[in-house]
Structure 1
Amino acid sequence: MDKKLLAILVCPICKGNLDYDKNSDELVCRVHKLAFPVRDNIPIMLEDEARRIDGVV
């Protein structure tokens, strides 16, 4: 994930910061416990495309 792109992307729900999970190739919102997929280096920032994750602090 490009660091410049990661610096400007925010959660589409809360506008909070996102963390990039290299192993799953997802952008994670820790507030809403959602993981947004990255497909072909393109972040899919749609709530309907995100998966709910548990255990994120």
Structure 2
Amino acid sequence: EMFLGEAPPPPDATLVVADVEFDILRAMIEFMYCGQTKIDHCQLQPLLNAAKGYK
């Protein structure tokens, strides 16, 4: 129901994103909002894997 717009989420709601490290999640969200992000070369494959998982 919450995702269908019938009820607003509670103010203390927590979203759990499993199996994605914080830096990767941050980069993914930054890319979604800004159209670009800066990451280390070693983080590229984990970022692409996370993006595929949340496509």
TM range, smaller chain: under 0.3
Relative to the length of structure 1, the TM-score reads 0.24
Task: Work out which of the two has the higher radius of gyration on C-alpha atoms and give 1 or 2.
Answer: 2
State the structure with bigger RCO (CA 8 A, min sep 6), 1 or 2. 2
TM-score (norm 2): 0.24
Q: Which structure's residues are more often strand, by fraction?
A: 1
Richer in helix (by share): 2
